[in-house]
Amino acid sequence: MHSYPKLICILTILFLLASCHPTPQSNAIRMAVAIAPSTLDPRFATDATSMRINRLLYRSLVDFDAEFNPIPNLAHWTLLSPTHYRFHLHENSPPFHNGEPLTAEDVKATYTSLLDPQIASPHRSNFTNIQQINLINSHTLDFILTKPDTLFPGRLTLGILPKSLLHTSHPFQKQPVGNGNFRYLHWPHSAHLILERLQDRQPIEFLEIKDPVVRVLKLLRQEVDILQNDLSPELIHWLNQRPHIQVTFGKGSHFTYLGFNLNDPNTGQLAIRQAIAHALNRSELIEYILGKAATLANSFMFLPNHWAGDNTNFLHYDYDPIKAQKLLASQGFTPENPLPLVYKTSNNPFRIRLASVIQQQLAKVGIRLELRSYDWGTFYGDIKDGRFQLFSLSWVGIKMPDIFRYAFHSTSIPPSGANRGRLKLPLLDTLIERTEQALTLQEQTHYYQNLQQLLWQELPYVPLWFEDQVLVTNQRIKGYTLALDGNYDALTHTRLTASPTLTSLLDP
């Protein structure tokens, strides 16, 4: 299913040509990403790169431990009543990068801004339960809710912005001012962002390099030091044979899914969505396209070890092409009269290849899938605006089950959320709202089970898999480790060391 020997020859020839003109060493740690961040304002960040970099620039009131439980970050909290939370900022909280101290006023200003309808933050729907925010003193504030929410502390993971700049037209999206472990230095153009680590003034550069083969060649030439994910299994295997390259694998929580436009005359039909689910051989895709570097997803959003991710009693859609053909026939489509659909994807070569194999699988049951690939900005814009029939994306680093409101509630259609398929199901809305009102974790777990059962029945997504994390570094890099959600937090303690000569990378 791939031309692996040809790929090796092309890579070797290109590298030999490139190595004739070595690039001088840099004192910066350079990380190549497939997609540049779209914004450095946490109120508007929805893509994975933006959210990961914002974690470096800003700190939040709350974070999560390894078991997905909320833990204090900038503040600890006290539950005064089911609708009343008091947060106390830690006295040693670091100042903002412009020198201003962080106070409770900054926290209130940040969340007040987020709730402003004119700001139109895509995260606003997650915080509409906040009735008011009251300042107690410079380090203490209260959040008063309209209804009980046992998950509320875990929602407060937004980076805090300084009040003094929020009241101006400061362009946070391009010139961030946070109080994280890294500060913004320069963004000379969209594909090159430079941060500085505060503890030792170590420069960190993020370089957008869309083509994965080019990313690999630049790693070998030491023009970049770190690659994380977005590489085909063939490239990973080839890199694993290089003498001075380190390849590391780790389990991941990235939930990849096939999404449908429920307003479309065809994909809006449940029988057609069910047919597509049965036509997909997900195990084959994982083995041959992802190189076994993924775990089959039989639940929505969460790995089975997450408290909201138990899939024991869920309805599943196993690979069954005969059943898929029967469902299509019930809608008037056969292999002789195939159903025409359009699948949109980014122009990432691996995603195009994945789409091509999905196209082949669906063709076997009587679906003629037309593939359309676009640059990331155009593709993502079309998905948010509802200009699609089918697409595939991944939810990255999801820890809180409140994602169900953001992704599926009828009030969360973009730009008010991420209900990109335009799902409108009153029963689901009711279940989401009842889950949010539950007073105990046990009661919430029960509702989340019912909620996910309903999602399996309505099938706004076909869950595909949880992709593994893959890290590739050269020998200059020490101390970078993988996180389950793929964050870049390890850059806090990553260091540069002496590296081998460029020509030695060719040694067998």
CATH number reported for the structural domain that contains residue 146 in this entry: 3.90.76.10
**pLDDT at residue 207, as a whole number:** 97
Q: Rounded distance, CA 83 to CA 436, Å?
A: 12
Residue 17 has pLDDT above 60, yes or no: no
Among residues 130, 163, 196, which one ends one of the domains? 163
Q: Is 168 part of a structural domain of the chain?
A: no
What contacts 494, CB < 8 A, 6 or more positions away?
A: 29, 226, 477, 478, 479, 480
Q: Rounded distance, CA 276 to CA 462, Å?
A: 8
Regarding whether 113 and 214 lie in a shared domain, the answer is no
Q: Rounded distance, CA 313 to CA 326, Å?
A: 25
CB 215 within 8 A of CB 231: yes
Regarding whether 493 and 459 lie in a shared domain, the answer is no
CB 252 within 8 A of CB 55: no
Q: Rounded distance, CA 15 to CA 173, Å?
A: 37
23-37, 75-89, 311-325, range with greatest mean pLDDT: 75-89
Q: Is 80 part of a structural domain of the chain?
A: yes
pLDDT band at 348 (very low <50, low <70, confident <90, very high): confident
Average pLDDT over residues 251-280: 94
Residue 502 has pLDDT above 50, yes or no: no
Whether the model clears a pTM of 0.85, i.e. scores above it, the answer is no
Q: Rounded distance, CA 368 to CA 343, Å?
A: 10
How many structural domains is the chain composed of?
Answer: 3
Q: What is the CATH number of the domain that holds 493?
A: 3.40.190.10
Mean model confidence pLDDT for the chain: 89
Q: State the residue range of the domain holding 80.
A: 55-163
Q: Is 173 part of a structural domain of the chain?
A: no
CB 505 within 8 A of CB 219: no
Q: Is 171 part of a structural domain of the chain?
A: no
**pLDDT at residue 159, as a whole number:** 97
Residue 395's SS3 state is strand
Regarding whether 462 and 326 lie in a shared domain, the answer is yes
CB 44 within 8 A of CB 121: yes
**pLDDT at residue 505, as a whole number:** 45
CB 480 within 8 A of CB 226: yes
Instruction: Measure Cα distances from 67 to 63, 299, 307, 436, 490 in Å.
Output: 11, 18, 9, 20, 18
> What is the gyration radius of the CA atoms in the chain, in angstroms?
24
Average pLDDT over residues 136-151: 94
Residue 21 has pLDDT above 50, yes or no: no
Regarding whether 262 and 401 lie in a shared domain, the answer is yes
**pLDDT at residue 1, as a whole number:** 41
Strand partners, 193: 206
66-70, 95-99, 297-301, range with greatest mean pLDDT: 95-99
Strand partners, 132: 144
Regarding whether 384 and 302 lie in a shared domain, the answer is yes
**pLDDT at residue 234, as a whole number:** 86
Regarding whether 474 and 329 lie in a shared domain, the answer is no
Amino acid symbol at 91: E
Query: Which string of DSSP letters, residue by residue, matches 46-97?
Result: -SHHHHHHHHHH---SEEE-TTS-EEESSEEEEEEETTEEEEEE-TTPPPPT
Regarding whether 62 and 139 lie in a shared domain, the answer is yes
Regarding whether 333 and 461 lie in a shared domain, the answer is yes
Q: Which one has a higher pLDDT value, 181 or 290? A: 181
Q: Is 48 part of a structural domain of the chain?
A: no
Query: Which string of DSSP letters, residue by residue, matches 218-253?
Result: HHHTTS--EEES---HHHHHHHTTSTTEEEEEEEEE
Residue 9 has pLDDT above 60, yes or no: no
Please tell me whether the peptide bond between 321 and the residue prior to it is cis, using omega within 30 degrees of 0: no
Regarding whether 356 and 310 lie in a shared domain, the answer is yes
Strand partners, 368: 340
Using CA atoms in the order 65, 71, 72, 78, what is the torsion angle rounded to 10 degrees? 180
Instruction: Measure Cα distances from 341 to 277, 359, 367, 463 in Å.
Output: 14, 10, 7, 19
Average pLDDT over residues 347-368: 92
Nearest to 224 by CA among 207, 237, 210: 207
Query: Which string of DSSP letters, residue by residue, matches 295-356?
Result: EE--SSSS-TTSTT---TT-------HHHHHHHHHTTT--SSSPEEEEEEEES-HHHHHHHH
Regarding whether 136 and 83 lie in a shared domain, the answer is yes
Q: Is 307 part of a structural domain of the chain?
A: yes
